[in-house]
A and B are shown apart, each in its own frame.
Chain A
Amino acid sequence: MLRDITIGQYYNGKSFVHSLDPRCKIIALAVMMVLIFTAHGVVDYAFVTVLTCLFIALSRVPLSYIVKGMKPVWLIVVFTAIINIFMGSGEEVIFKAWVLSVTKEALFSAFGMMLRVILLVTVSTLLTLTTSPMVLTSGIERLLKPLEKIKFPSHEVAMMMSIALRFIPTLTEEAEKIMKAQAARGNDIEGGGFLKKVKGMIPLFVPLFVSAFRRADELAMAMECRCYQGGSNRTAFKRLEYKKCDTVAFLFMLTVVIITVIYRMVGFLL
């Protein structure tokens, strides 16, 4: 069950998206996020959905893999939808009961919200699925480099992020193991009321935290043993280089942005 979390995992494969430069993919992700957030109206939604589907197709990551990654966010998606359905305002009332009423506008906005969350998670998952953590870090580091002028520790931040990403699968595996070990001692988190469930979590969280600290300690030691020293004057083993496909991707994203801006300007002016 915990194993199903695919956020932060890398899907080893060969595809157009895999071969892109991480900087290119991060920028594309940022653009996509803005597009998804600002989308409203049927055409906008359809456009970002088609784009996302196109990216999935290009990445050749099996759809089942991405769908499984959605599992942990389902609750949030459904929750946002429900809130939006009942809290939205509008004129055309479809359904009314007690103080709750559902309007056509609210229904549409709830659908939009759901779609947005799903697409956001999908595109961000796609980034980590198609980019190995090491490459992703160097991409982030390179993008944050300009901020070093104002003493921003870009290398350290990127390193922290990549370590955090790297440890998600490790810690979920560990959590699963501890869960089983405590279940073997009769710990029961499935049954019982809320209080009992919370109490059942203590035997899971204490060992998990202890092991997380232990791992952090060991990692720090291992890094120091190899004379790791922050970001000053570090060179990279694999240097990032823009290739032809990155230019293609950039031009594509640029076209997408221009089309969107023009479409929205037109819509605004009319």
Chain B
Amino acid sequence: MLIELIDVSYTYENKAPHERRALNNVSFKVEKGEVWGIIGHTGSGKSTLTEIMSGLIKPSGGEVLLHGEDVSKLKNPMSKIKGKVGLVFQYPEHQLFEETVLKDICFGPSNLGLDEEECIKRAKEAMELVGLGEEYATLSPFELSGGEKRRVAIAGIIAMRPEILVLDEPTAGLDPVGRDMLFKMLGDIKGKLCESIVFVSHSMDDVALYADKVLVLNEGSVLMQGSVKEVFERSGELEAAGLDVPQVTRLLIRLNEMGHSFDKTLLTPEAAADAIYERLKG
């Protein structure tokens, strides 16, 4: 197991007037090789959870175990987690600041105390993984397009070679093509650099297609967690909490209501199309 959260709670602004419980006894663990999707409404605590995982904020209660060691009670959890859990924020392109793309990507690794040669090596490797060619290295990050900037920002995190890559709404503001490319890229990264990926998303379809496991948050508490199939099978509960189910699932449920009997745990449009085709054929 890479990282495990046990009964983690978090309260914003411990003192009045704005006390707000962001997380309530959340427990879940990420194993090696897993891709987790975290879904929930705005304000359900998704972003807070990512910040706790990466050690940016300390939980008000509970434990965060990294390789079995509790890091939540440390005075500076960052020092232990640094480089092990990489967090890509929402709209990460807003954090770029260096003169050139290469220098910006080197910022993370150099903060890990690596020498220049190693930083550049890692930066180039990261650039290749996110699909930025050599010619980008000397450009200013501010002259790039939005999608390219985002890839630079992600490269800046993966150049630190984190074991777990955590992304907060990585597809926000991207078109469908950009979204597909991003997830394909994440697949490449997972195979080569990071062992696990956790991403926050609004889109059930993204989660159904790209995640192995799902954590559903509702008002700071875990509504359900498990494999994608297990979670989307309980579509009734999801809808009761005001959350969507993937479009494919919705279609299959509708067909079942009309008297057919499809396996509603089919998650990709292709698999569903095949099943329907088979049925039509006879």
Q: Which residues of A contact B (CB under 8 A)?
A: 3, 62, 64-65, 174, 177-178, 180-188, 190, 202-203, 206-207, 210-211
B94 near A64 with CB under 8 A, answer no
Which residues in window 90-133 of B have CB below 8 A to A? 92, 94-97, 107-108, 111-112
Q: Which residue of A62, A178, A207 contacts B16 across the interface (Cβ within 8 Å)?
A: A62
How many inter-chain contacts with C-beta < 8 Å in the A-B complex? 61
Q: Which residue of A lies closest to B15 (CB)?
A: A64
Check B87 for interface membership: any CB of A closer than 8 A.
yes
With a cutoff of 8 Å between Cβ atoms, the chain A residues found around residue B259 in the complex are: none
If A180-B89, A203-B107 touch, whether A186 touches B160 (CB-CB below 8 Å) is: yes
Q: Which residue of A177, A190, A203, A211 contacts B89 across the interface (Cβ within 8 Å)?
A: A177
With a cutoff of 8 Å between Cβ atoms, the chain A residues found around residue B95 in the complex are: 178, 181-182, 185, 203, 207
Check B229 for interface membership: any CB of A closer than 8 A.
no
Closest 5 A-B residue pairs measured CB to CB? Answer: A186-B111, A206-B97, A181-B95, A185-B108, A184-B87
B17 near A184 with CB under 8 A, answer no
A207 near B94 with CB under 8 A, answer yes
A182 CA / B87 CA spacing, docked (Å): 10
Q: Which residue of A3, A64, A183 contacts B78 across the interface (Cβ within 8 Å)?
A: A183
Q: Which residue of B lies closest to A210 (CB)?
A: B142
Q: Which residue of B17, B56, B107 contacts A180 across the interface (Cβ within 8 Å)?
A: B56
Q: Give the size range of B's interface with the partner.
A: 20 to 34
A186 near B54 with CB under 8 A, answer no
B144 to chain A, nearest CB (A): 13
With a cutoff of 8 Å between Cβ atoms, the chain A residues found around residue B15 in the complex are: 64
If A203-B107, A207-B97 touch, whether A180 touches B16 (CB-CB below 8 Å) is: no
Q: Which residue of A lies closest to B99 (CB)?
A: A206
A68 to chain B, nearest CB (A): 9
A180 near B51 with CB under 8 A, answer yes
A-B contact pairs, 15 of them (CB 8 A): A64-B17, A177-B89, A181-B92, A182-B95, A183-B78, A185-B157, A186-B82, A186-B111, A186-B160, A187-B107, A187-B111, A207-B97, A210-B97, A210-B142, A211-B94
A199 CA / B165 CA spacing, docked (Å): 27
With a cutoff of 8 Å between Cβ atoms, the chain B residues found around residue A3 in the complex are: 13
Check B246 for interface membership: any CB of A closer than 8 A.
no
A184 CA / B15 CA spacing, docked (Å): 26
A186 near B112 with CB under 8 A, answer yes
B7 to chain A, nearest CB (A): 24
With a cutoff of 8 Å between Cβ atoms, the chain B residues found around residue A187 in the complex are: 107, 111
Residue of B86, B94, B107 with highest tally of chain A CB at under 10 A:
B94
A203 to chain B, nearest CB (A): 5
A114 CA / B57 CA spacing, docked (Å): 35
Q: Which residue of B lies closest to A177 (CB)?
A: B89
B160 near A185 with CB under 8 A, answer yes
A11 CA / B262 CA spacing, docked (Å): 55
Check B220 for interface membership: any CB of A closer than 8 A.
no
A62 near B17 with CB under 8 A, answer yes
B96 near A207 with CB under 8 A, answer yes
Q: Which residue of B lies closest to A184 (CB)?
A: B87
User: What 1/0 mask marks residues of chain B from 58 to 75 whose CB sits below 8 Å from any chain A CB?
Assistant: 000000000000000000
A184 near B89 with CB under 8 A, answer yes
A203 CA / B17 CA spacing, docked (Å): 32
Check B40 for interface membership: any CB of A closer than 8 A.
no
Beyond known contacts A62-B17, A64-B16: 12 more, CB 8 A cutoff: A3-B13, A178-B95, A181-B89, A184-B54, A184-B56, A185-B108, A185-B160, A186-B78, A187-B107, A187-B111, A203-B97, A206-B97
